Amino acid sequence: MSITFERESVEFQPIIVTRDGVTITSGVSTCITQLGVRPVNFISAVTVGTQIGCMVSGLTPGAYNVWVQISDSPETPVKNAGSFTVV
């Protein structure tokens, strides 16, 4: 993902998460961080229709990463889902 958002926008950014080739739409949390910062506080993914993702809003101009955390027993993998820029 490489997208630009206006800082005044509130927009849904869909994320496709797969595990062993299967698309996952439940048990996924997201975290938005500034570029180069590791994720800490994950929140439940937003669902719009049949898609999951995150809401992009209230961010200052800059580059950001979107991280996903998959709740799966016994593992809890964390993956970088891409980046975007706020202008």
Domains and CATH numbers, the chain: 2-86 (2.60.40)
Which of 61, 64, 56 lies closest to 37 in space, CA to CA? 64
Task: Indicate whether 16 pLDDT > 90.
Answer: yes
Task: Indicate whether 75 pLDDT > 70.
Answer: yes
Task: Indicate whether 1 pLDDT > 60.
Answer: no
How, if at all, do strands 2-5 and 78-86 pair?
Answer: parallel
Helix (H) or strand (E) holding 51: strand 51-56
pLDDT tens-digit map of 31-74? 999 999 999 999 999 999 999 999 999 999 999 999 999 998 78
Residue showing tokens 């929140």:
43
Q: Are residues 42 and 80 in contact, defined by beta-carbon separation less than 8 angstroms?
A: no
Quick one: pLDDT at residue 2?
Answer: 62
**19 band by pLDDT with thresholds 50, 70 and 90:** confident
Look at 13 and 20; give whichever has higher pLDDT. Answer: 13
